[in-house]
Amino acid sequence: MLWPRRGIVDAMVSGIEGQHPQRVQSASQRRLLTLLVASAMLLGLAAALVLLPIRYVLWAPAAPIDLYAAAEQPAIVIEGTATYPVTGQLLLTPVSVTSADGSVSLLDAVSTFLMDDHGVFPREVSYPVGAPVEQVQQEVPAVMPAARRAAVVAALRIAGHNVQQVPLITHVVVSGPSYGRLEVDDIITKVDKVDVYTAADVNTLINQYEAGAVVPLTIRRQDLELQVGVTTVVTSDQQVRIGITMEDNYSYEPNINFSLDISGVTSAAGLILAIGVYDYLDSEDLIAGRSVAGTGVVDVSGTISAASGVAEKLRAAADAGADLFLLPAANCQDIVGSSFGGMRIVKVSALEDAIASLRTLRDDPTAEVPSCETP
């Protein structure tokens, strides 16, 4: 093989380097420009991915609401029975949640995820799938009346007040036989001469009549007791009815109202609302100057069910200086390994047990009460 002489190679390289210097420089500039444009596009795409809204909501601790705070209008107003002074703080612990019409970016989600006692959840955890914003904004506050009613009923029962379950009329069909004879909010107390206590009781007795028969009803309309006869009809599913819709409600003497800003407050406020009602009815001052927080869904029997957002609620209560927190037993698994300073966490399964623990710790702050560490 013949190898070119070194001088010839050097001449060839020198010749190439010497040819078209502007073209070589232009190619370098094009490569640099291409690199810059590509980098800018990648940065723009990354920024768009980070800033575009995603279908998630953010949960964060929110400032607790003190039911006992001095105000022109107390949070709990009880009329028609004896009440007693309360002392201390009773804290509702709402959670700050992205609003129904709000948006969350990937950057928001990542930064929140990295924070202690904050949460990032699919939007469906907080809001119904596919529901319009306007519907969600109406439905979320609508949960509270039922939670308040259950809290009141449970507290009154433990305080020794008479509470009677009653079938309440919630709707009267305009084209039905009850229209003009029965009204929304009427309470049916008897079908013929038989006492009734639930909507099921009423329907069972009415279903025993023939279609076209007149059913004698005793109803309570505000403070009046009335006798009303209503003609039965047969529905499409072959049930004998009188054209009304009912729900099981409760009748009791004290008039109890709440004046609360319900932003961020859910049915899990029931436990603290029930404690507050009971404390006003208790001559011994249950809270007794302490700062007590808590969460939990309470039903009319006083059973306490799990709440959501407990990490956020516990953090908010601890930051507010609460002495103790009432936590549903079902939520103990959610705080394993967590620390909330010197705040004592009391495990509760029923309203009566929660009241008993508060009373025990009032009399002896060092006493043993149920906790997430005990069986």
Domain locations along the chain:
20-51, 62-95+134-160+254-363, 163-252
Q: Which range has the worst mean pLDDT, 196-205, 311-320, 334-343?
A: 334-343
- What does the block give as tokens for 195? 């006492």
Looking at the predicted structure, is the pLDDT value of residue 366 above 60? yes
Band (pLDDT 50/70/90 cuts) for residue 196 is very high
Percent of all residues in the chain with a pLDDT value above 70, rounded to a whole number: 79
Cα separation, 169 vs 178, in Å, equals: 11
Cα separation, 317 vs 37, in Å, equals: 51
More confident site: 140 or 75: 75
- Arithmetic mean of pLDDT, 280-304: 95
Band (pLDDT 50/70/90 cuts) for residue 12 is very low
pLDDT at 62: 79
Helices (H), the chain: 6-18, 21-51, 106-113, 133-158, 199-206, 270-281, 310-319, 351-363
Instruction: Give residue-wise pLDDT tens across range 334-359.
Output: 988 888 888 999 999 999 999 999 99
Band (pLDDT 50/70/90 cuts) for residue 144 is low
Percent of all residues in the chain with a pLDDT value above 90, rounded to a whole number: 54
CATH level 3 topology of 62-95+134-160+254-363: Ribosomal Protein S5; domain 2 (3.30.230)
Looking at the predicted structure, is the pLDDT value of residue 138 above 70? no
Looking at the predicted structure, is the pLDDT value of residue 315 above 80? yes
Find out whether 167 and 196 touch, Cβ atoms under 8 Å: yes
Instruction: Give residue-wise pLDDT tens across range 44-65.
Output: 666 665 556 667 777 777 788 8
Architecture of 163-252 per CATH? Roll (2.30)
Find out whether 254 and 79 touch, Cβ atoms under 8 Å: yes
Looking at the predicted structure, is the pLDDT value of residue 5 above 60? no
Looking at the predicted structure, is the pLDDT value of residue 14 above 50? no
The amino acid that residue 264 corresponds to is G
Instruction: Give residue-wise pLDDT tens across range 76-115.
Output: 999 999 999 999 999 998 877 766 667 767 777 777 667 7
Cα separation, 123 vs 109, in Å, equals: 12
Query: What separation in angstroms does the CA of 276 have from each of 77, 88, 226, 293?
Result: 10, 11, 36, 11
Looking at the predicted structure, is the pLDDT value of residue 264 above 60? no
Please, what's the b/e burial string for 73-90 (b: 16 or more CB within 10 A of its CB; e: otherwise)? ebbbebeeeebeebebbb
More confident site: 309 or 134: 309
Cα separation, 185 vs 169, in Å, equals: 5
Looking at the predicted structure, is the pLDDT value of residue 245 above 90? yes
